[in-house]
Chain A
């Protein structure tokens, strides 16, 4: 309960890159929504946070349950999506998130996926596109508990900076206390390929359209297989239009 009382500081790891001034206006945060997906059940959620704010979701997947959470985090000031997920035996979890920001926006995805029991699988795909003086952060943590053998966890975190003044923070973390687990994580921060942009221009595609085409492909990876894939892509494309 004490965490609800005191505003976090940048020294708190999970709030290191947050916009604390914007956070103060939202404080105290409501409790996280808690969802238990029963054994062998399925759960899907699309979170579209386009006006800032903090969304918090705690998921518990019972034995053999499956869940997919897809996030589109845009908005002008501070937008944060927090997920805490616990996986029981054989459960399967997917997080696909895109955050698109320009101006002074601070956007964050903070996710902890805990493999509590054997044989669970998880994949987290986070794509950020940042322009202007925006900051995009992804703190994605995988914890594999003692005895959670046969865990298969994948994290792929990538950011694209459209301006040199934008910032991406990517921190994939693995904490493994079990044997026989398969964990892969990668993170990369890049810029749009100038050779590709010229190639597109040489075929008649104007710079903004060329950037949109490339970025669309980049963020589409986050939404592959989502129930709301088309809607999320359409909304993302619209948000991209304001950035390029």
Chain B
């Protein structure tokens, strides 16, 4: 589904990704762990096409197409979803309006019929219920006044509505209380654990991986994947830290 080959990227002219390679197949869950500043969010933003994150080398294939040739909104329509470490507030635009616009823009891009108002609300209600989020919250402006944990939960509601093929979830677990962590973990399982979907979890802690068991765990350090293992690698990291494990 995703093949990253020797990816180099700069942020504000500073090299951050330095030859990163990673392959994710349909049906797999991967976790990336790594020290602060290693380039984990940069990887997500670069794959999402954020302005200011410049690819200086390498290639990325997503479902057979050249991902880097697509505009950010086209990457979303192709099935890429980015769960933000810091979801953005958009004053004056309600979640319902925003997500309906987003869902239908993606559908139009893929040549599908747009959802009617009723169809969209039914879908939104279903996904909000899955994440135990009060539907009234989706009537509020996008992320405005949401607590840190509510923003993360809202990201998962968005993922449920947009039904991506690949979700890159950047520290979705940070800011979540114990119950919310379980609800989001189970939500990720329900939405994304499918033979034709895949997940890349960026996280610092084992706790999310208890709910969403990864097939592979990677350590990202200094802009590259320096070690890959199974779920046990996350436990090893938790016990011994990066210096010992990734050296």
Binding site for B on A (CB under 8 A): 193-196, 198-207, 209-210, 213-214, 216-218, 220-221
Contact = CB atoms under 8 A, between A and B. Distances in A.
Contacts of A201: 49, 71-73, 76
27 contacts: A193-B88, A195-B88, A196-B88, A198-B50, A199-B90, A200-B73, A200-B90, A201-B49, A202-B48, A202-B50, A202-B72, A202-B75, A202-B84, A203-B99, A203-B102, A205-B101, A205-B102, A205-B105, A206-B105, A207-B71, A213-B93, A213-B97, A213-B98, A214-B93, A216-B93, A217-B90, A217-B93
B88 A204 contact: no
Interface residues of B, number: 33
B87 A206 contact: no
A204 B90 contact: no
Given A203-B99, A204-B76, A214 B90 contact: yes
B51 A199 contact: no
A221 B105 CA distance: 26
A195 to B, nearest CB: 5
A200 B82 contact: no
Contact of B102 (A200, A207, A221): A200
Contact of A206 (B51, B73, B98, B158): B73
Contacts of A217: 90-93, 141
Nearest to B88: A199
A204 B77 contact: yes
Contacts of A198: 48, 50-51, 72, 88
A6 B226 CA distance: 78
Nearest to B83: A202
Contacts of B156: none
Interface in B63-117: 71-73, 75-77, 81-82, 84, 87-93, 97-99, 101-103, 105-106, 109
A135 to B, nearest CB: 25
Given A198-B50, A204-B106, A213-B101, A218 B90 contact: no
B96 to A, nearest CB: 12
Contacts of B75: 202
B90 A196 contact: yes
B84 to A, nearest CB: 7
Contacts of B106: 204
